[in-house]
Amino acid sequence: MSKEFNLNDLDEEYETHDSEQNTDFEELPDGKYQVSVDRVELMLSKSGDKRMFKWTLKVINGEFKNRLIWKYSMLEPGDSLGYFKRDLHTLGFVKTISEVPNNLEFFLDLIIQITKKTKDGADMASIYFNKLLGQPNDSTGYPHIPPKSEPPPVDSDLPF
């Protein structure tokens, strides 16, 4: 059963608020950040002829906590496809690229160390995935680092 959601009581105050967009926030400075993957999308470029993977990343600590960063990965033949593969492998996704659309949830909430770097004179920054730090702990929101596999025993550790 659907209940009507009435907002009539807010009309008067709503009219008093400014609708101009606030563009006063500073650009996130270059540097290393710990982020969580907030959202991922498969999309087409503005021209509509290039396939892209859009990452929405949220800074999880420090002065810029909760700020968003976007990374766009081109999904076309060439070097950019190699960069995308490297990013996926950094995050532990080792399936084929054709399996990405059916596995988008794999990336959500991963905790990653990234580097944001802007080249001199460039309008756009590059976002590099340095390493996977883990997944959030459901109760605390802090990263849970997956256990590393045990190294194989050395000869002196063998029982015979």
Q: Is residue 79 part of a domain?
A: yes
When mean pLDDT is compared across 9-18, 32-41, 53-62, the lowest value belongs to 9-18
Enclosing H/E stretch for 130: strand 125-136
Distance CA 119, CA 126 (A): 8
Q: What is the pLDDT of residue 84?
A: 95
Q: Is residue 9 part of a domain?
A: no
**Average pLDDT for residues 10-33, to the nearest whole number?**
78
Range of the domain at 91: 27-143
pLDDT digits (tens, 9 = 90+) for 39-58: 999 999 999 999 999 999 99
Question: What are the C-alpha distances in Å from 108 to residues 58, 105, 134?
Answer: 11, 5, 11
Q: Is residue 139 part of a domain?
A: yes
What is the number of domains present in the chain? 1
pTM of the model as a whole: 0.71
For residue 38, give the CATH number of its domain: 2.40.50
pLDDT band at 1; cut points 50, 70, 90 = very low
Q: Is residue 75 part of a domain?
A: yes
Q: Is residue 44 part of a domain?
A: yes
pLDDT digits (tens, 9 = 90+) for 127-158: 999 999 997 665 545 555 554 445 555 555 55
